[in-house]
Amino acid sequence: MKINGWKYYVHAAIPTLPPHIEVDETPVNDGSIWSLDGGPILVRWTSDWDCGYETNWWYCIKDTPFDISTLKSKRRYEINKGNKNFSVEEINPTKFSEDLFRVTSAAYETYPESYRPNIEHNSFIADVSNWKFIKVYGAFFTENKELSGYACLLKDGVYINFAVLKAVPEKEKLSVNAAIVNKILIDHEEFLKNGGYICDGSRSIQHETAFQDYLEKYFEFRKAYCRLHVIYKQPIKDVITIAYPFRKLLSKMDGIGPIKKVNALLKMEEINRSFK
């Protein structure tokens, strides 16, 4: 069953709309959300977008034009180093599908095994031709013109989403990510001046990442605080209720795959309960 404004993603029903737009909660309230194609076991959405006070849930956004001159000298140096080492430009992904696969595979190698995605060559190459991103940027190493990183953007009105950003790990010390982000912000200066915003997604629960902190320090992204809502389908709701008092004990066993997934749900539930 298709439900307007909602989609299935990794066992969850989530909104299809940008985070600043209030969702229609009718399918949640009448229970029809559980009939969504894919069979979600939980529903997650947010409200009170950019409320102006600190909460336990946020999106990392950039809603002002970027001015490198306002940064500390060390941070300006890192960005300029990236611009020197890499040439960043829009690319046609189908022409670089093999290179994109190589970069993605290298990036995934650094992920902890507990949540390292499996990537299959032929499927990846086939999927690239079906990408619906508005723009794909490639970062080419100055010395040999080899693709070393890429970013994919989605757009919906005043909202642009950093849907994907991957880089060859050994090139990160040469500031490839800085070169990519800098180019994107320069290209979208007018978009930002006219009320748009670029989003790197919400607070991360399961994946260990410092990238949002990096964006805040080097490119003046900020946290747009909001309220998280989560509800669970039975019997998952009962599992969460029973396991919740033992969440600290379970966190010590986070290296075990299934428990790690439960811990992610328990952390999300802890944040959810903080609003009540």
**Dihedral of the alpha carbons of 124, 130, 135, 141, in degrees to the nearest 10:** 30
Is the pLDDT at 114 greater than 70? The verdict is no
Q: Is 112's pLDDT higher than 90?
A: no
| Exposure on the CB side of residue 124, measured as CA atoms within 13 A | 16
pTM: 0.90
Kindly list the structural domains of the chain, giving each domain's residue range(s) and its CATH number in brackets, ordered by start: 6-53+227-273 (no CATH), 64-195 (3.40.630.30)
Output the pLDDT for position 197: 98
What average pLDDT does the chain have?
Answer: 93
Q: What confidence tens digit (pLDDT) does each residue in 241-273 have?
A: 999 898 998 888 877 777 888 888 888 889 888
Closest CA to 6 of 32, 224, 20, 160: 32
| d(C-alpha 72, C-alpha 63), whole Å | 20
Of the candidates 262, 273, 271, 245, the one whose C-alpha atom is nearest the C-alpha of residue 56 is: 271
Residues 196-220 have a mean pLDDT of 89
Angstrom CA distances, 75 to 33, 215, 219, stand at 46, 11, 9
Give tens-digit pLDDT for 138-171. 999 999 999 999 999 999 999 999 999 999 999 9
CB 197 within 8 A of CB 205: no
